[in-house]
Structure 1
Amino acid sequence: MSSRINIARPQANYNSDPHGLSNTRQSSGYRSADPEDPLEKLRALSKTVEDNVEIYSQPLKPHLPAIGRFLIVVTFLEDALRILTQWSDQIWYLQSHRHFPWGISHIFLILNVIVMLVASSAVILKKHTEYAVGGLLSVVIIQGFGYGLIFDLNFFLRNLSVIGGLFMVFSDSMVSRKTLFAGLPSISETDRKKYFLLAGRVLLIFLFLGFMIQGEWSIMRVFVSIVGLAACVMVAVGFKAKWSAAFLVIVLSIFNVFANNWWSVHSAHPTRDFLKYDFFQTLSIVGGLILLVNMGPGGLSVDEKKKTY
């Protein structure tokens, strides 16, 4: 027969929460964000939009650079085709209205067509991009003076945006280059890229400013202008730049189809060419915004600074 012997043991002071993790007292220091705070709701909404942009752009993301580059130069390809198909009209305009001497007008048009076709092809193929962008920039400037449109405000703002798109192309295709002169200070590839991205972001928004100052005003136009201007400012300073650029891509694409529907105008109507010109220029700016969605705003932006601090 067995017996059990109970041995009294001293009770240890046991604490189930030695680190005080279950302490329910409110801390006098940092306090967690209130989910009902309007600012927190706005942050949550912007995060959701950013995540959706990333998710839905994933299938297209490998192709975004090629799409963006093509759209940026499509206005130059269309312009070259227009000059070739309206050769006699172009010669007549330059000689009669711009007072180009015979022969100079021909050289002017031929050089424009060659540079636009060759440089646009180089941008699409990512070959000698620096020279191609320089050539297209020269076409924008020379045509502005040649056709007498340099002082037209709408033309000026639109072409600033096209130049912004070309800067985005240059940033997308940035390559490392060794300094030509040893011992002299040089700007690194990363620094050059962020400066061109900043310039491209700022210049891209001028198209929308041109949209705001032309046309008749309505309640819908006021609403779109306010929201679009806010998105433009966000793009320029680089705050939530990806989703604000994606928003502008959608808005400008819809606006372009309905406002610049040149295909619905008779071929003999004088406004057809103007609508066609505006349509393809807007496509170029959309291409620049697509490159911004793909690359991000770069180092000189609020989004990038928020990662540091």
Structure 2
Amino acid sequence: MSSRINIARPQPANSYNVDPNGLGNSRGFGGGPYQSSSPAPNPDDPFLKIKQIASKIEDLIDIYSQPLRPHLGSIGRFLIVVTFLEDSWRITTQWSDQCWYLEKHRHFPKFFSNLFLFLNVITMITCAPAVILKRYSEFAVCGLLAVVIVQGFGYGLIFDLNFFLRNLSVVGGLLMVFSDSMTSRKAIFAGLPSLSENDRRKYFQLAGRILLIFLFIGFILQGQWSIARVFVSIVGLAACIMVAIGFKAKWSAAFLVIVLSIFNVFINNWWSIHSAHPQRDFLKYDFFQTLSIVGGLLLLVNMGPGGLSVDEKKKEY
């Protein structure tokens, strides 16, 4: 063991010479050889002020989200799948109406329409709780993704722009769940090149971030315009771009959570419509889908934007 001892001993602090050869500039820069020659930042610089304000907002979000932070992931996962739970309940309670629509408008055979609805309900009531409880989450997410695709074609809504954009956002939320639940697995074929677990997670987080913003794009494209709507659309679109590229992603996602929650309560207020009115079901469907997208954004606030983002790249420089 004595052969591993480092014989060299550090010199005393008072014998250390920062310029043993006398090559340093005796004048220095601002009084010392290690002082930076770059000018002091201008306190009136607008970009510096914006950066300071953004930093304060991030600090406030961190402070006020502390009580919820341990539960933020669970809340996000619950909100993401709540639209599937509501959909399974709606199909079950309106079974005859659903069958009538599929048979009369989609020309499904009676047996196939019942089988179609049964498989959808079973998949949703099985996979949604699995996502909430983080049990077999990857298989559960795949099952719910299959429900989104099958229902789009089954009900003939795949070419409806509003439905398409909303479901892209729901898919984005499911991809956020998928990236959150990814666990390391052994390679199936040893020796073959494969992406690491971290690389796969980064790509899923990137895809989830981009898809999450499509609901807000749908909000911009539809409805009547007003001064307030123009203002909210411009600010919201800027926040969507920041979420997509991962720049200040946490507080821009938190801003979208607030905007979408307010929008959801005042626009999709299905509880104020009479139960016999046909518009009630459409508003209820939009309400719970928006909750799912809010859940995806909450997961983004909880997890961060991932490796493929401006925020993460800034840490490297």
Normalised to the residue count of structure 2, the TM-score between the two structures is: 0.89
- State how far apart, in whole Å, the 1-side matches of 2:77 and 2:179 are: 11
Within 5 Å, which residues of 2 pair with 1:31-46? 31-46=39-54
Distance 2:147 2:36 in 1: 64
CA RMSD of aligned residues (A): 1.5
Number of positions where the alignment pairs a residue of Structure 1 with one of Structure 2: 290
For 1:22 and 1:285, locate their aligned partners in 2 and report how far apart those are by CA, in whole Å. 53
Q: 1: CA distance between counterparts of 2:114 and 2:275?
A: 25
Conserved? CA contact 2:29–2:37, under 8 Å: no
Equivalences for residues 182-221 of structure 1 within 5 A: 182-221=190-229
Q: Which is worse superposed, 160-169 or 27-36? A: 27-36
1:175 maps to what in 2? 183
Give the unaligned 5+ runs of structure 1: 1-17
Partner of 1:122: 130
1:160 aligns to 2:168 (yes or no): yes
CA offset at residue 19 of structure 1?
8.6
Alpha-carbon deviations, 1:159-208, whole Å to 9, x = none?
00000000000111110011001111111111011000000000000000
Which SS does the other structure have where 1:197 is aligned? helix
Look up the equivalent residue of 1:296 and give its one-letter code. G
Match of 2:280 in 1: 272
Q: CA deviation at 1:50?
A: 0.6
Residues 29 and 36, structure 2, Cα contact 8 Å, conserved in 1? no
Structure number with bigger Rg: 1
Q: 2:234 aligns with which of 198, 214, 226?
A: 226
Deviation at 1:267, TM superposition (A): 0.4
* Residue pairs, 1:1-309, within 5 angstroms: 23=31, 29-309=37-317
What SS is found at the alignment partner of 2:283?
Answer: helix
Q: In 2, Cα distance between the equivalents of 1:256 and 1:20?
A: 61
Distance in 1 between residues matched to 2:181 and 2:248, nearest whole Å: 23
Gaps of at least 5 residues in structure 2 are 1-25
Q: What letter matches 1:58 in structure 2?
A: Q
Equivalent AA in structure 2 for residue 219 of structure 1: I
**Deviation of residue 32 (structure 1)?**
1.9
The one-letter code of the counterpart of 1:264 is S
Taking the aligned partners of 1:300 and 1:44, their CA distance within structure 2 comes to 24
Q: SS state of the match for residue 188, structure 2?
A: coil
**Counterpart AA for 1:168:** M
TM-score normalised over the length of structure 1: 0.92
The CA deviation string for residues 225-277 of structure 1, in whole angstroms up to 9 with x for no partner, is 00000000000000000000000000000000000000000000110000000
